[in-house]
C-alpha cells in the first residue's frame, strides 16, 4: 500500500461519491457504522448528510479514497465520531489518530461513538483506543401512512389541542423543554434559528394554556422526534401521549412516511410511550465515550 495522506472532504468535494460508497457499504447489521447525526441514523448516506457533519477526514492512498471518518457535532466540548469507514486496519488507525490530534488542537475534551451492538469489530476497535461503554441507545421508528387526527380532543369540559407552535409560543416551549432537558442546547441561540434550520415545534394546549411541547427535525421522507416534554407539575396525566398522537398525525399530513427517534434503553417510561404510539425498535447502539 502506498503511504497514506490526509485530506478534508471540504477541500476535495469531487471525492464525495467515493466517501458515500464507503459508508453505504456499512448499513444496519453486523458491520453497521452508525451515523453520528441523530436524524440520519439508519438512513442511506447522501451528500446532504455529509455536508451536515463538522468535518469529514479522508485517508488517501495515491488518488484513491482508502477510508473516511466523520466528525459530528454534539456539544461545545464533545463530538460524535462516524466510522472509520474502511476495511483496512492500518487505514482505520491512521484516521483515528489524525482525528484525535485534530480534536486535541481544537481543545475538545472528549469523543463519543455509537456502536451497533452487532458490530463486535468496531466495539473492539474503540475499546482498544480507550473508549468505554456508557449506555445502550435504541433507535425506534413508526410508519405514518394511516395516521389521522383532528388535533382537538375533548375530555369532560376541557379541550386539548395539538398544533404547530407560533413565535408567541416560543417562551412557553423554551420553558418546558429546558426544564425537562437541562443539558440540551436545542433552545440556543433561539427556536427561530432552529426552525430556520428545518425544525418544527408543536404544542399541546389545555383550555388555551400550553402544557406540553415537542421538537421535530425534518429529515426528508422521515421526521425525527428530537424532544417531547410536559410541564413537570402536570406529569402523570398522559399529556405526552396526546401530544405525540397529534405530532404523528401532523407529520403524516406533511407527507412524512415514517418518524424515528432515539431513546436510552433504561428509559422505561419513554419506551412505553413510544411503543403505545406504534414505534418499533429497529436496532440498538452502545454509546461509547473516550478522551481526546
DSSP 102-115: HHHHTT--EEEEEE
State the Cα–Cα distance between residues 115 and 123, nearest whole angstrom. Answer: 6
Residue with cell 482498544: 128
What are the chain's domains? 4-139 (3.40.630.30), 145-256 (3.40.630.30)
Closest to 195 in 3D by CA, of 222, 167, 171, 225: 167
State the Cα–Cα distance between residues 70 and 264, nearest whole angstrom. Answer: 23
Facing residues of 143 across strands? 258
pLDDT of residue 159: 82
State the Cα–Cα distance between residues 24 and 101, nearest whole angstrom. Answer: 27
Tens place of pLDDT for every residue, the chain, 292 residues?
569 999 999 999 999 999 999 999 999 999 999 999 999 999 999 999 999 999 999 999 999 999 999 999 999 999 999 999 999 999 999 999 999 999 999 999 999 999 999 999 999 999 999 999 999 999 999 999 766 655 665 554 468 999 999 999 999 999 999 999 999 999 999 999 999 999 999 999 999 999 999 999 998 889 999 999 999 999 889 999 999 999 999 999 999 999 999 999 999 999 999 999 999 999 999 999 999 9
pLDDT of residue 132: 99
Strands 55-61 and 152-155: unpaired
Helix (H, G, I), strand (E, B) or coil at 261: strand
pLDDT of residue 153: 54
The angle formed by the CA atoms of residues 79, 47 and 261, to the nearest 5 degrees, is: 55
pLDDT of residue 157: 44
Amino acid at each position: 500500500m502506498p503511504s497514506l495522506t490526509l485530506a478534508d472532504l471540504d477541500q476535495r468535494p469531487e471525492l464525495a461519491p467515493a466517501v458515500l460508497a464507503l459508508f453505504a457499504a456499512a448499513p444496519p447489521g453486523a458491520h453497521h457504522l452508525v451515523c453520528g447525526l441523530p436524524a440520519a441514523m439508519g438512513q442511506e448516506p447522501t451528500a446532504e448528510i455529509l455536508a451536515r457533519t463538522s468535518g469529514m477526514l479522508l485517508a488517501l492512498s495515491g488518488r484513491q479514497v482508502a477510508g473516511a471518518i466523520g466528525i459530528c457535532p454534539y456539544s461545545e466540548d464533545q463530538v460524535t465520531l462516524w466510522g472509520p469507514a474502511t476495511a483496512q486496519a492500518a487505514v482505520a488507525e491512521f484516521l483515528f489518530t489524525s482525528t484525535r490530534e485534530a480534536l486535541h488542537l481544537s481543545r475538545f475534551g472528549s469523543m463519543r461513538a455509537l456502536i451497533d451492538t452487532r458490530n463486535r469489530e468496531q466495539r473492539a476497535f474503540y475499546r482498544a483506543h480507550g473508549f468505554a461503554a456508557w449506555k445502550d441507545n435504541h433507535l425506534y421508528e413508526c410508519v405514518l401512512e394511516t395516521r389521522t387526527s383532528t388535533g382537538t380532543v375533548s375530555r369532560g369540559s376541557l379541550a386539548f389541542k395539538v398544533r404547530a407552535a407560533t413565535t408567541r409560543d416560543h417562551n412557553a416551549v423554551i420553558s418546558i423543554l429546558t426544564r425537562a432537558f437541562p443539558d440540551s442546547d436545542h433552545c440556543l441561540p433561539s427556536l427561530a434559528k432552529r426552525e430556520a434550520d428545518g425544525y418544527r415545534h408543536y404544542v399541546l394546549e389545555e383550555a388555551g394554556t400550553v402544557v406540553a411541547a415537542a421538537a421535530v427535525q425534518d429529515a426528508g421522507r422521515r421526521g425525527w422526534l428530537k424532544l417531547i416534554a410536559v410541564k413537570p407539575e402536570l406529569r402523570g396525566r398522559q399529556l405526552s401521549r396526546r401530544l405525540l398522537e397529534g405530532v404523528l398525525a401532523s407529520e403524516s399530513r406533511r407527507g412524512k412516511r415514517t418518524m424515528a427517534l432515539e431513546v436510552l434503553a433504561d428509559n422505561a417510561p419513554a419506551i412505553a410511550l413510544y411503543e403505545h404510539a406504534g414505534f418499533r425498535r429497529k436496532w440498538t447502539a452502545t454509546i461509547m465515550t473516550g478522551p481526546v
